[in-house]
Structure formats: C-alpha cells, structure tokens
Amino acid sequence: MNCIKCGGKSTVVETRLSPGETRRRRQCVECGYRWTTYEMAELTISQVRTLRKLHDEFTDIRKIMDRAIDRIDSAIVS
Ligand SMILES: [Zn+2]
C-alpha cells in the first residue's frame, strides 16, 4: 500500500488479528508517516439475507415480549 500522505512505499509494522477483523499499523518508508488500516471480510448476499432474517425474527420476538410486559404491568396496576 502506498503512503496516504506522500504516495511513497509503506511497510507493515504491526498486525493485530481479531475475529472478523485485521488491523495493520503501517509506516511510510519515505516520509515516516504512520497510519492504521482495517480489513474486514465482505459479507456474501446469502449472509446478508441470513442476518436480515435473524433481525426480523428478533424484532418479532421483541414485539411479543413488549406486549407481554404491557399486559403484566396493567395486571399489576389494576
Ligand atoms: Zn509518506
């Protein structure tokens, strides 16, 4: 990767791996500027659909639970 400041060549001085993400500390060979880059896996269309489905299911469960809590609250008050 070229330096984001001067366009010179850069080297990776540190790499940190965590689930789903790689963080690299880079340094320009020419001007010495340091910066960090992040790499994340691109989600496939199928993974996006699965996440959307899980989100919708969770939203439905949450609505049901909210209604149940409202009913409990009104039962306690009356
Ligand atoms: Zn540079």
User: What is the tens place of the pLDDT at every residue in 6-34?
Assistant: 999 999 999 999 887 899 999 999 999 99
Pairing of strands 34-40, 21-28: antiparallel
User: 20 C-alpha vs ligand 1 centroid, how far in Å?
Assistant: 29
CA of 24 to the centre of ligand 1 (A): 16
Ligand 1 midpoint to CA 18 (Å): 27
Q: Is the pLDDT of residue 74 over 80?
A: yes
Distance between Cα 36 and ligand 1 center (Å) = 13
Query: What does DSSP assign to residue 40?
Result: E
Q: Spell out the long-range contacts of 17-24 with Cβ–Cβ below 8 A and sequence spacing 24 or more.
A: none
